[in-house]
Amino acid sequence: MLLGKSISTNSLLLGAFALVTAAILAGTKAGTEERIVAAERMAAQKALLEIVPLERHNNDLLLDTLSIEEEHWAELGLKLGGDINIAREDGKAIAAIIPAVAPDGYSGEIKLIIGVNADGSVAGVRILGHNETPGLGDKVDLKKSDWVLGFNGRSLSNPKTEGWAVKKDGGEFDQFTGATITPRAVINQVKRALEFFEAAKPLANEKPLVNKEAQPLANTEAAPSPQVQAEPS
């Protein structure tokens, strides 16, 4: 009798311990997820504000979005679609920030966002994720060099079509010593984003925009890169 009672008591204690532990773990997970979402939101907002700073707009860039129609996914390199972030000043759309993926980087996909002003000129470009070779292709990242700032103010007419290439290919954009494939991939994708903007005219869309809970942008943490070696031309 005493043995059975002892086993029953221990079972109850173990069950209670398991419930408490599960509750603690659930609370910890929820708290961690909230912190991750907050961190992702801050990182996304930082990237967007680098392209369209606060003095140019007064809306919430993360919440003012427009879904990209499936027919345009391929030209932007988006396998699962994405949202354009709209910058507005006093309700007037002044710029669109377009997500894109260059599929043909030296070490794989290069994730980026392209800000386009209402007049079709580039407001800014930022690289969000890549696996390019350190010291070579990774110079497309603003943290490594200011090369990406060379897109600012450019448009489909500045330069003309043939100028949207690295200088080695007869274009107007610099390549990197020992690395031509990476900048070539980014240049081509920025041009495609400008062509999308001209064709789709996202800022001329008068339909209600999709105001939804902000979704995190592409992961900005690059995977370990291969040993440094020159890219083939």
Dump pLDDT digits (tens) for 39-92.
756 777 788 999 999 999 999 999 999 999 999 999 999 999 999 999 999 999
The domain spans of the chain are 1-228
Query: How many angstroms from the chain centroid is the CA of residue 104?
Result: 17
Over residues 202-218, mean pLDDT = 51
Task: Answer yes or no: are the C-beta atoms of 123 and 115 closer than 8 Å.
Answer: yes
Task: List Cβ neighbours of 74 (8 Å cut-off, separation of 6 or more).
Answer: none
Task: Answer yes or no: are the C-beta atoms of 71 and 218 closer than 8 Å.
Answer: no
Pairwise CA distance, residues 1 & 149, whole Å: 81
pTM: 0.74
Sort residue 90 into left (φ over 0), alpha (ψ -120 to 50) or beta: left
Q: What is the pLDDT of residues 101-155, one digit of tens each?
A: 999 998 999 999 999 999 999 999 999 998 887 888 889 999 999 999 999 999 9
Q: How far is CA 76 from CA 88, 161, 190, 202, in A?
A: 23, 18, 9, 14
Sign of CA dihedral 10, 11, 12, 17: positive
**Tokens 């920025």 sit at which residue?**
190
